[in-house]
Amino acid sequence: MKIQTSRFGEIEINKEDIVEFPEGLLGFERARRFIVLNTQDGGPFRWLQSTEIPDLAFVVIEPLQFMFSYDLEISDSDVAFLGVKAAEDVLLYGIVTIPENPRDMTANLQGPLVINIKSRKARQIVSANSSHSLKTGIISEMEKRAQKLKESQATQASQASQASQAPQVPETPQAAPKASKAPESPKAPQATPKKGGKG
């Protein structure tokens, strides 16, 4: 189907891709149907475009595209409302606000969008976690994350160098099935003592 948008002109979308917010968004209660569009340069941002109101669109981003971690507790009533059956069904977005200086752009993680990708039903929920901010700095969080990743890589590297001095545990399970393919070959008895040595 074709929809009209003020930002992208007329676009062709699949009806099945429409995401429905039965209650609309806070402040936009009449906007019920949206489509998620990729941005031109393929970055982490998406457009959440209303399929009914050409001028209404939001920039959105998945929290884990810039946050080190984001744990959202979805209430029982929200789970029931969205018909969520498994955690994998859930897609989260924060609505992005870009002020004059784009360095200060923020994502609203206090009122995240929760989409059930199976049923395409969605709701803007209010997070009960007081550390989730209405204005979460995207660039500052990204920098924090980069720092944390560096630290955890350094820890992993030092753990790995320690591990290399220890007996190489992961090799045994790999070797064992190979040996079991040829049970009567002379290699099989060799695999058995290795297994024992591990434990």
Partner 1 sequence: MLVLTRRINEKIIIGDEIEIVLVDIGKDQVKIGINAPKNIKVHRREVYEEIQRENRLAAKTKSLDALKSLPQEILKNLEKKSK
Residues near partner 1 (CB under 8 A):
7, 25-28, 39-45, 56-59, 64-65, 75-77, 80, 95-98, 102-103, 105, 108, 110-111, 124, 126, 134-135, 139, 142, 146
Q: Toward partner 1, which CB reaches closer, 117 or 146?
A: 146
Spatial contact of 67 and 145, defined as CB atoms under 8 Å apart: yes
Q: How far is the CB of 41 from partner 1 (least distance, A)?
A: 7
Q: Toward partner 1, which CB reaches closer, 57 or 179?
A: 57
Q: Toward partner 1, which CB reaches closer, 26 or 169?
A: 26
Spatial contact of 108 and 94, defined as CB atoms under 8 Å apart: yes
The DSSP bridge pattern shows strands 19-20 and 57-61 to be unpaired
Spatial contact of 94 and 112, defined as CB atoms under 8 Å apart: yes
Q: How far is the CB of 18 from partner 1 (least distance, A)?
A: 19
Q: Toward partner 1, which CB reaches closer, 51 or 108?
A: 108
Cα-based angle 13, 119, 80 (whole degrees, multiple of 5): 145
Cα-based angle 192, 195, 196 (whole degrees, multiple of 5): 90
